[in-house]
Amino acid sequence: MTDTRQIDGVTDAAAARAAAARLAARHGVPALERARLAATLGARLRQCLAEGGTWRLTLGVRGADSGGGALHAVLEPSPDASSAGEGTRWETTVPLPAADRPGGTGTGTGTGDSDSDSDSDSDSDSDSDMVPGDDPAALSQALMSADADTALVLDRLAEQEALVAFHRDELHQTNQGVLALHAELDAAGRAQREAFAAERRARNEAENARRRLTFLADASAVLNTSLNHGEIVRRLPELLVPRYAAEVGIWLFDEEDDPHHPMTRPAATVRAARTGRPQYAADHPGGLRSVDDLPPSVLHPDRPLLCVPLLTHRAPLGVLTLSPPGERWDPDDAVMLIELTRRAGIAIDNARRFEHNRDIAETLQRALLTELPTTPGLSLAARYLPATHGMNIGGDWYDAFHRPDGSLITVIGDVTGHGLHAAVMMSQLRTALRAYAVDDGSPGLLLTRLHKFLHRLQPNLYATAVIARFHPDESTLTWAAAGHPPPVLRLPDGRVRTLDAKPGAMLGIPLEQEIADHTEQVAPGSTLTLYTDGLVERRAEGIDPGIERLSAALGSFGPAELDTDLEGAADRILKPLLSDSERDDDVCLLLCHLQG
């Protein structure tokens, strides 16, 4: 169907616009599309009126009978008008719903017979869609129909606006939720980062604390292993430099006269010595716990100084002065250094007290080890070496003296323990033996009396001993042993025998015993060796291999060597047996040689 209109003025344009809307409604075009068609066509018609001339609008429907047709509109200058405009041809196409036909069930408002391409149907359709421009009532009705479409569009627009507003609110709420979630995630991220940072700091602090405690424990062990205060003073700077200090100075109060120590000292060092409190001298506060801040030292203005007194239970020993390895100390490192200085002071004090007691004990023991007597036809040589570990002074002793009958008593013994107590008990046993030997008595009887004496005097103290008696008018040797390593006898021909006859038990044990005598025939050129266990005993192998080495050393001498140089022979015996410079026990050796 086709509807063609001539447009010369506003009334024709309004009628043409209304006809296009009615045709679209008749064929079921939705209101929104009808309104869009009417608005677009109206704008185009206004443009045509502004240009002037006569225009032709052709409206038609194509393919409506087969479903899915389209409404086609063409606006162009009229070809048969003498004053036709020179405007541009305009056309548009509006798709029709597939189920919407004339007289069908579409959404349009138009009604009529079924669509047909016949002339009669075309004429009737044209007549029904015709809006005369000179009929105000028909034109008004067409405009009202257009307003109804506009109202439907406005209603639909309102619905869409409400829907848009609803979705806008939902989007706003979603955005707010997303923003809140982002804020929570950001806060959670910050909290997690702070937790990780705190964990790293805690782990670093724990590792630093472990490192300080390990160093403190190791350094304390190093300082306490030595009982020589000079060794401790030497090791202390080696432990601290360069890890915890760039320089270390040690001022001991009783070494003021030492020319190797400076007489001019920083004021902070002197103040630490007077007050007994650590001092920090620098051009900035140290912020160290329990440490007094002082101005920088005049002697060392370019570096901070930490001066810590070496305190003991009795009185300060001196002051330790340190300069930091960097610009300043970590406060925890300073606390550790103060604690290490305190332990060093105690270690130095203990070493000095030990050295003092050792000197007393060694002096006492040296005084008790008297010179050996001179006996015709019998040479004596003795050696005593203190232990190199521990107290150094033990209960090893030897003695030789004449009895009223002209015989010579030689004895060697060992009191359990070390130190002053062992040295004192050794002196008491020596004195008691000399007193008992005034009366006539064999070596076994003398040991039996010493056993009873020691058990009554010191029930918890024990000793071992060997006594040998030489008589100038006899060619026999009488000896007795109580828990002591056996004597070794070298015969004139170089053979060596161990006198291992059954000995008595240790002196002082809670046991009644009568120690027996043993007799050996000796000829000129024989050598009797008495010794303590420190000479032959080693932890890893026991005493028997040591006795074998001693026997081998004795058998290596010729008769002339022992006759002429018994003192040198004693040194040559000790050398292979004491190859190690470190000894855990005292060593005592007594050689008795019958001149050949």
Q: Which two tokens stand for residue 454?
A: 């020691």
pLDDT beyond 60 at 588: yes
Radius of gyration of the chain (CA): 63
Q: Which two tokens stand for residue 381?
A: 């040589």
CB 55 within 8 A of CB 7: yes
* Residues 538-568: tens digit of each pLDDT: 877 788 998 999 999 999 998 788 988 999 9
Percent of the chain with pLDDT strictly greater than 90 = 38
CB 256 within 8 A of CB 244: no
Range of 56-65, 337-346, 532-541 with top mean pLDDT: 337-346
| Per-residue pLDDT at 102 | 47
Strand (E) or helix (H) holding 449: helix 443-457
For tokens 């004449």, the residue is 402
Can you tell me the distance from the alpha carbon of 14 to that of 140, in angstroms, rounded to the nearest whole number?
A: 10
Q: Which two tokens stand for residue 248?
A: 């270390």
Average pLDDT in the 367-384 region?
Answer: 85
Average pLDDT in the 66-93 region?
Answer: 76
**Which of the four pLDDT bands, split at 50, 70 and 90, describes residue 143?**
low
Average pLDDT in the 417-423 region?
Answer: 72
Q: Is residue 312 helix, strand or coil? A: coil
pLDDT beyond 70 at 270: yes
Distances (CA, A) of 160 to 29, 97, 153, 154, 171: 20, 22, 10, 9, 16
| Per-residue pLDDT at 118 | 35
Query: What DSSP string describes 427-447?
Result: HHHHHHHHHHHHS---HHHHH
Strand (E) or helix (H) holding 321: strand 318-323
**Which of the four pLDDT bands, split at 50, 70 and 90, describes residue 101?**
very low
Can you tell me the distance from the alpha carbon of 447 to that of 515, in angstroms, rounded to the nearest whole number?
A: 7
Average pLDDT in the 269-297 region?
Answer: 89
pLDDT beyond 80 at 139: no
pLDDT beyond 60 at 164: yes
In DSSP terms, 468 is beta-bridged to 410, 479
* Residues 356-372: tens digit of each pLDDT: 877 776 776 667 677 88
* Residues 168-220: tens digit of each pLDDT: 899 999 999 999 999 999 999 999 999 999 999 999 999 999 999 999 999 99
- Eight-class DSSP state of 584: S
Which domains are seen in the chain, by residue range?
Answer: 2-156 (no CATH), 229-361 (3.30.450.40), 369-594 (3.60.40.10)
Q: Which two tokens stand for residue 196?
A: 């990780």
For the ranges 52-56, 126-130, 203-207, the lowest mean pLDDT is seen at 126-130
Q: Which is nearest to 260 in space by CA: 274, 275, 250?
A: 250
| Per-residue pLDDT at 106 | 42
Average pLDDT in the 29-35 region?
Answer: 84
Average pLDDT in the 490-508 region?
Answer: 91
Can you tell me the distance from the alpha carbon of 164 to that of 161, in angstroms, rounded to the nearest whole number?
A: 5
For the ranges 66-70, 73-77, 316-320, 434-438, the lowest mean pLDDT is seen at 66-70
Which residues are CB-contacts of 407 (< 8 A; sequence separation ≥ 6)? Answer: 469, 470, 471, 472
| Per-residue pLDDT at 257 | 52
Per the prediction, the chain carries an average pLDDT of: 83
pLDDT beyond 80 at 148: no
| Per-residue pLDDT at 278 | 93
pLDDT beyond 60 at 573: yes
Can you tell me the distance from the alpha carbon of 395 to that of 359, in angstroms, rounded to the nearest whole number?
A: 15
Q: Which two tokens stand for residue 121?
A: 């149907």
For the ranges 148-157, 303-312, 405-414, 575-584, the lowest mean pLDDT is seen at 575-584
Q: Is residue 567 helix, strand or coil? A: helix
Average pLDDT in the 264-287 region?
Answer: 89
| Per-residue pLDDT at 582 | 54
* Residues 446-487: tens digit of each pLDDT: 999 999 998 888 878 899 999 999 987 788 999 999 999 999
Q: Is residue 310 helix, strand or coil? A: strand
Q: Which two tokens stand for residue 547?
A: 């006795």
| Per-residue pLDDT at 37 | 87
